[in-house]
Amino acid sequence: MRLKRLTLVILLTPLSLPLFADDFLGGSRPTCDPTIQTCLPEPEESQCDVTVCFMTVEAQRQYEIKHDCVFPSSSPCGEFDTNTQCCGRNPRTGKAAIIDKVFSTPGVLMPDFDSFTWANLKMACPNLRQNNAPPDDAWIMCRLNSRHNPNDPDDHYNVIEILNNGTSRPFCIDGCSTPPLTITLLYTLGYFLEPDRNNPSGYSEESSFLTACTGHDVCYQTCQKEQNECDREFLEKALNACRTIPRHRLSTRWMPTPMIVNTRNQCIRAANVMHRGLQIGGHSAFNKRRQQYCQCC
């Protein structure tokens, strides 16, 4: 009796194995000859490192041969127009992606990743460089006595100086960009001794923050430093401007309450409050400038 059962099991096993194997692999039931060897799917070819793009199809094929791998057909990489596109990386997924060289749509980095921030840009474009493209929707112009972009609510002041930067877009300098109402507030509360965005202490030409602000404009418009580095450099230069004011110089204010203040200290407070303003509200302008002045490769 036991021998009869064992014989039955041995005879049935080859018939049942393919079904078990198929269930295990999760694929559809094979329509082939039901033997173990022929029913198992072919081993998959190993996929290539998907963080690589190629400028030509031939270059991609050579890579596949050399590394014994293939790129999946769904890979976003492959041949692309190097005149207008770059091989970059989707900042959300980390996977290779073809990215527009110039970000001419305001606020847009990638069609499927629409937020343009410096952090995303750095991740997306390892070969960032200064933008040399002609004017577009993001960077309309740089003309003396005109704003960068008249439609941009962050651009309050006209360009006062244009600094050439080789073949790249020139630096547009608009001085210290503290918004008009903020100047009224800072002046009224006594942080600024004068309602002058470039020279809040009003003491002398040397105490003006214009040089510090020009350096800050250039820093934001250069695809290199972090915002906090640019802001810190502004503060150091502004403090140096304040140090030109004699140590014991006093100024009198009648509003909002009569005060006799130390002119140099008040200049330092103005520099500090402007620096704080950049830390609190400078991100938007910083990201806009990076979009205008950087290209992906």
Partner 1 sequence: MLLIFFRKMLNMKYTKTFLATTIFLLKINLAFGTNDGISLHQQDATEIVSISQFFSRQDQAYLVTATLNASNNSSLPKSSLRLIDFKSGKVVTELPVEQAPLVSPPGPQTSVLALPRLGPDIQWKIHQPDPKMTTLGREKNLPTYAVVTQTLQDGRNYYVFGMSQQNEPIVSVFGPELTLVAEHAYSDFSPSMITSALVLDHEILALISSENGSMLLKVSKDLQTISETRIDGFGASGVILPGGGFALTYVTSPDMVVTLERFDVNHKSRWKAPLYEMSKNGVSSGVKLAAVPSGIAFSGFNNDQLLIGSISIDGENKTIKLASKKGLEFDPSPSSHFIFTHHNSIHVWGLAMDAQTLKNIIYRADYE
Residues of this chain that bind partner 1 (CB under 8 A): 117-119, 122, 153-154, 156, 179-182, 184-186, 188-191, 226-228, 239, 250, 254-262, 265, 268-269, 272-273, 276-277, 279-281, 283
The answer to whether 173 and 163 have CB atoms below 8 angstroms apart is yes
Q: Exposure of 73 by Cβ count < 10 A (0-12 exposed, 13-18 middle, 19+ buried)? A: exposed
Task: Determine how many CB atoms are found less than 10 A away from the CB of residue 295.
Answer: 21
Instruction: Return the HEC string of 70-106.
Output: ECCCCCCCCCCCCCCEEEEECCCCCCEEEEECECCCC
**Nearest distance in Å: CB 203, partner 1:** 16
**Nearest distance in Å: CB 254, partner 1:** 5
Q: Which is nearer to partner 1, 30 or 190 (CB)?
A: 190
The answer to whether 51 and 96 have CB atoms below 8 angstroms apart is yes
**What is d(CA 261, CA 4) in angstroms, rounded to the nearest whole number?**
110
Phi/psi zone of residue 78: left (φ > 0), alpha (ψ -120 to 50 degrees), beta?
A: left
Q: Which is nearer to partner 1, 61 or 276 (CB)?
A: 276
The answer to whether 131 and 169 have CB atoms below 8 angstroms apart is yes
**What is d(CA 295, CA 297) in angstroms, rounded to the nearest whole number?**
6
Q: Which is nearer to partner 1, 34 or 106 (CB)?
A: 106
Q: Which is nearer to partner 1, 30 or 179 (CB)?
A: 179
**Nearest distance in Å: CB 44, partner 1:** 39
Q: Which is nearer to partner 1, 75 or 244 (CB)?
A: 244
Contacts by 18-24, CB closer than 8 A, 24 or more apart: none
Please report where in the chains the tokens 């890579």 appear, as a residue: 63
Q: Which is nearer to partner 1, 11 or 280 (CB)?
A: 280
**Nearest distance in Å: CB 276, partner 1:** 5
**Nearest distance in Å: CB 181, partner 1:** 4
**Nearest distance in Å: CB 248, partner 1:** 9
**Nearest distance in Å: CB 68, partner 1:** 39
**What is d(CA 204, CA 277) in angstroms, rounded to the nearest whole number?**
23
**Peptide bond preceding 76 in cis form (omega within 30 of 0):** no
Q: Which is nearer to partner 1, 35 or 284 (CB)?
A: 284
